[in-house]
A and B are shown apart, each in its own frame.
Chain A
Amino acid sequence: QKEVEQNSGPLSVPEGAIASLNCTYSDRVSQSFFWYRQYSGKSPELIMSIYSNGDKEDGRFTAQLNKASQYVSLLIRDSQPSDSATYLCAVISRDDKIIFGKGTRLHILP
């Protein structure tokens, strides 16, 4: 089982709709979770971090964490074409290393 799993996509979402990105992780003791956005040919950029069960909102972005299910998600409301990118889920492992998923390609349809 991979440590951090994401659906590679592409995930196509109409402009203005909600994009839902999902991630599961294998290490039950993980405590810190991150979502990075990476535009093609660019570097990953941190957009959300979450450490406690529940929802965390920042503008159009909401991160959701369920430690019992080992599941973290990112919702993007009112999706814009500029949201089209690869979204990387990352988890801090028990030995303090950051583990990335392969990423989900998101395509917002104008």
Chain B
Amino acid sequence: EAGVTQFPSHSVIEKGQTVTLRCDPISGHDNLYWYRRVMGKEIKFLLHFVKESKQDESGMPNNRFLAERTGGTYSTLKVQPAELEDSGVYFCASSLNQWGITDTQYFGPGTRLTVL
């Protein structure tokens, strides 16, 4: 069974440009999460999808970030326009059931975003 995949693995862009990150969860996993780790900081929650619906987007830093999950399958995270402080590693994770007691979140390899 394929794990969570993310594309691209690395992205280097200039301030003001747009970048779109993609996450393909494990097939059949309704729950999809985005996280970000800024250098030197801990991994931070961004948002949570259940199928195509945003269950919780309270961790999104600002309105330059837009996440979508078309048809409840893959998800994209767009940053427009990118700022220097957006640099970091963006992780996606998926789980069959909602996190907590019952389920494991499987993480993707992450996308390392560098904004110059």
Pair A98/B59 contact, Cβ less than 8 Å: no
Q: Does B108 sit at the interface, judged by CB under 8 A? A: yes
Report if B64 contacts A (CB, 8 A). no
With known contacts A4-B42, A97-B59, A100-B42, A44–B100 Cβ distance under 8 A: no
Given A100-B44, A102-B41; A51-B101 close (CB under 8 Å): yes
User: How many residues on B have C-beta within 8 angstroms of the other chain's C-beta atoms?
Assistant: 22
Task: Give the docked Cα–Cα distance between A63 and B56 (Å).
Answer: 29
A-B contact pairs, 26 of them (CB 8 A): A4-B42, A31-B101, A32-B100, A32-B101, A42-B109, A43-B4, A43-B110, A44-B91, A45-B107, A49-B104, A51-B101, A88-B42, A96-B56, A96-B98, A96-B99, A96-B100, A97-B45, A97-B58, A98-B45, A98-B99, A98-B105, A100-B43, A101-B42, A102-B41, A102-B42, A103-B42
List residues of A whose CB falls within 8 A of some B CB. 4, 31-32, 36, 42-46, 49, 51, 88, 92, 96-103
